[in-house]
Structure 1
Amino acid sequence: MRTITDLLYGRGAAKFESNESFQPIFQSWSMIGITTLKSNRTRDVLHMCFCWFCILLSPFSFYMGYVQTLRTKPITDQLSLLQAIFNVTGLPLKAIFIKISQSHLRTTEAIFVRLDERCQSAESREQIKKCVVLSARIFTVVGSVYHLYGSTTILQAFFTDNYPLQTWLPFTDYIPQPTIKYYSHFMFEVFHIYFLLTVQFTNDVFPAIYIRNLRTHMNLLTERVSRLGSNPEFTDDQNFNELVDCIATHQDLLVVKDIVESVCSVTVFIEFVAVATAHCICMLNFFVFADRFQQMVILSYYLGVIMQIMPVCYQASMIMEDSAKLPDAIFHCNWLAMDKRSRKLIIYFIHRAQENMTFVALKLFKIDMTTNLSIVKFAFTLYTFMNNMGFGQNMKELLE
């Protein structure tokens, strides 16, 4: 098993496999307790129970903390916590659904093994290697952006003598000694914010990585199809068998697509709702209430909000474009050089390939860049409406 550094730089003598793209995801899920590597070990079970306690505690802790800030903290701190509440509310829902669906998602591994076995040329193996490296880099970049927000929040709290998240923790807030209470609460929130950000970005990034691997095998299939009937050394039976293998590959891709969509449909829908709300609150807080240092924290949070849905929307849009090239490749292959039964099968194949690969969130919103831009536009329109109505400025004058 390669390390994450080897995956990032494509190091290693052995052939790269598509399933290596998902290795960081499952390792992260194991670290945050979504799954355990050895479920019969007591230590792993206790670790998983503690992680789920932290996950399930977060909505209650954030909400009670927000109620407390209404009386004691300025409006910018209230909005900073409020924008996080919407994401934290959906976090346990996504984690529970992924926990339930994880075994279903694992069934794609055997299919990717079959897909890799059909790609034995040097060019095909190089494309698979590039996909694995890119998947590791997507995972790393998204995680870094998420944890940048955690670091800026902790630095702001450290220099202002506040708590990073302003959450309510019953097991520290009732400590009578103020110094011990402050540092106990502060250290737990430092751990909690990095833990929750790890849970969040892992659950957000996995659809983009799966779709990126689907794109690679779709492009490899399109290249294979374009060469059908072009090899003069092939007999009619060999051309027919190659065509059948291409159709089997396409069927496997459709199966993987359905599995990934069934898992990410719910999680991406929750992200859409959380991101649409967080966009508006971020802009209101950034342009009306926050000072310079707070604006830096809000900007880092806003970058994380953008990264929640942009990678999966981009990859989903690109696989629609990639799958649209397959019917053209079938039509332009050298089907005239093939026998009658192969031509009949090509008609079936081109008919089946007409339907593009599209991902839909809960059968309501198509997952693509159009939806991503629509959410940003909705949030900006809502902010503009509130700004024109003087909502933010009137509230600021009222509080001052």
Structure 2
Amino acid sequence: MIFKYIQKPSLEALLGSRDSLIYFNRCIAQMGWRPPPRTTKNWWLYYLWTLAVFFFVFIFVPNGLVMTGIKEFKDFTTTDLFTYVQVPVNTNTCIMKGIIVFFMRARFVKAQKMMDAMDRRCIKIEEKNQVHRAAALCNRVVIIYHGIYFGYLSLAVIGALVIRKSPFCVYNPLVNANDHFYVAITIEAVTVGGVIMANLILDVYPIIYVVVLRTHMGLLTQRIKELRSDVDKGEDQHLKELVECVKDHKLIVEYGNALRPMISATMFIQLLSVGLLLGLAALSMQFYNTAIERFVSGAYTIAILSQTFPFCYVCEQLSSDCDSLTNTLFHSQWLGTERRYKTTMLYFIQNAQQSILFTAGGIFPICLNTNIKMAKFAFSVVTIVNKMDLAEKFRRE
């Protein structure tokens, strides 16, 4: 059942934090990025699939785009130019992010083990329900991204069929689009679909892992609120609960630190490219001749915004969660307690003041304000093209 892992919590089927990766891991498996052990029957078939995907996504499409520019650039119309330029930028961004994630993929395994450790602290049914809701939300996000990204691909192919033009301008030395139009369109759609799937994986993973982090941060905040609320417990028991909260916070910080280098590098590349991509999309909508082309460009713009905006929003909320944790600690019932409890609490407050924030390339914080500033570069791209009258020059030529 495809929607099994996005349902509401029930006592019979509660999801854990690791289950938030079910649909995400299926995408990775489809891309050939999770090769099975060689003890598996017919394991070599999957390795062949991995090589085929790697060839078409990371070699055929980029080189096909380069060859298109070399062979056909002089014959480009203004419409062809803006159709062509957008794809190489996004494709090369995807390749760079993919290389980074490939060399840091061991951090995924480490983070998943930490998820299991954090789940073991969720004893109450309310906590388990909250973890389930977070896991279902993450799986729902993957489905939504499928709709956005492959919705754009479907519209691009339909538009290409209507106007009888190549949707992405990928050079194919084996099949001539003029002689075998439908075969060429099919090959192009499938290969670019692989690039889109890779982009989906690389854009979704930060959201999933940080949503899980936020969930356990919220659960820790709730546990802190309940400290010393049971008058029947002794001081030793209260201290033990506080120490467990300190350990929970340490594990959450380690979880964030395990993912930070990967997220920092990939989001740095993505945020730098988002302004250029949005600018090109805005320009293309001005110069496309048909309504279907403008509609496809609008869908592309939504897909570009989806690459950065949701994660920047999640990071913004994470910053608020860190502030809430610190305030909850300070206002908890620790005044008038024993010295050892106060000492532990002061140590906890000091550590909690160091927010679990993510930065892009270690240079600027990942937040909505940064996303807006980077997106403003789109206006610069439009202004430069309009001031230099590049579109009119291409038309005259």
> CA–CA distance in 1 between the matches of 2:58 and 2:380?
33
Look up the match of 1:152.
155
* One-letter amino acid matched to 2:78: I
Task: Note if contact 1:69-1:166 (Cα within 8 Å) is conserved in structure 2.
Answer: no
Aligned-residue sequence identity (percent) comes to 23
Q: CA deviation at 1:393?
A: 5.4
Alignment correspondent of 1:120 = 123
CA distance in 2, matches of 1:110, 1:254: 14
Contact 2:79 2:288 in 1 (8 A): yes
The answer (yes or no) to whether the contact 1:81–1:165 under 8 Å persists in 2 is yes
Residue 240 of structure 1: aligned partner: 239
1:229 is aligned with what amino acid?
R
Map 1:326-337 onto structure 2 (within 5 A): 326-336=325-335
Deviation at 1:190, TM superposition (A): 1.8
Matched to 2:4, the amino acid is D
Q: Shift of the alpha carbon at 1:77?
A: 2.0
Partner of 1:53: 55
Q: List alignment gaps of at least 5 residues for structure 1.
A: none
* Alignment check: 8 A CA contact 1:205 1:311 kept: no
Tell me the distance in 2 between the aligned counterparts of 1:45 and 1:392.
47
Output one character per residue of 1:63-102: Cα deviation in whole Å (capped at 9) or x when no partner.
2223444233421122112111101012222222222211
Residue 353 of structure 2 aligns to a residue whose secondary structure is: coil
Preserved CA contact (<8 Å) 1:105 1:263: no
> 1:16-39 CA distances to partner (integer Å, 9 max, x unpaired)?
100111122122111112222345
| Kept after mapping to 2: 8 A contact 1:54/1:192 | yes
- 1:85 matched to which residue of 2? 88
Cα distance, 1:136 vs structure 2: 1.1
TM-score of the superposed pair, with normalisation by structure 1: 0.93
Aligned length: 392
Give 1:149 shift.
1.2
Alignment-mate amino acid for residue 7 of structure 1:
Y
d(CA) in 2 for partners of 1:277 and 1:104?
A: 30
1:378 Cα deviation (Å)? 2.0
Q: Distance in 2 between matches of 1:108 and 1:25?
A: 14
Contact 1:84 1:278 in 2 (8 A): no
Check conservation: 2:9, 2:129, Cα contact below 8 A: no
The 1:397/1:302 distance shift into structure 2, 3 A limit, reads same
Q: Secondary structure at the match of 1:269?
A: helix
Distance in 1, Cα, partners of 2:116 & 2:252: 12
Give the letter for the 1:48 counterpart.
Answer: T
Conserved 8 A contact 1:229-1:337: no
CA contact (8 A) 1:284 1:392 kept: no
More displaced stretch, 113-122 vs 42-51: 113-122
SS in 1 for 2:376: helix
* Distance in 1 between residues matched to 2:212 and 2:172, nearest whole Å: 42
User: Aligned partners of 1:394, 1:267: CA distance in 2, in Å?
Assistant: 36
In the alignment, does 2:168 pair up with 1:168? no
Provide the TM-score with structure 2 as the length reference. 0.93
Deviates more, 1:203-212 or 1:155-164: 155-164
Instruction: Report if the CA contact (8 A) 1:149-1:304 is conserved.
Output: yes
Shift of 1:113: 1.0
Structure 2 SS opposite 1:171: coil
Per the alignment, residue 3 of structure 2 pairs with 5
1:170 shift after superposition: 2.6
Query: For residues 165 and 393 of structure 1, what CA distance do their matches in structure 2 show?
Result: 19
Aligned equivalents of 2:211 and 2:2: distance in 1?
18
* Structure 1 equivalent of residue 284 of structure 2: 285
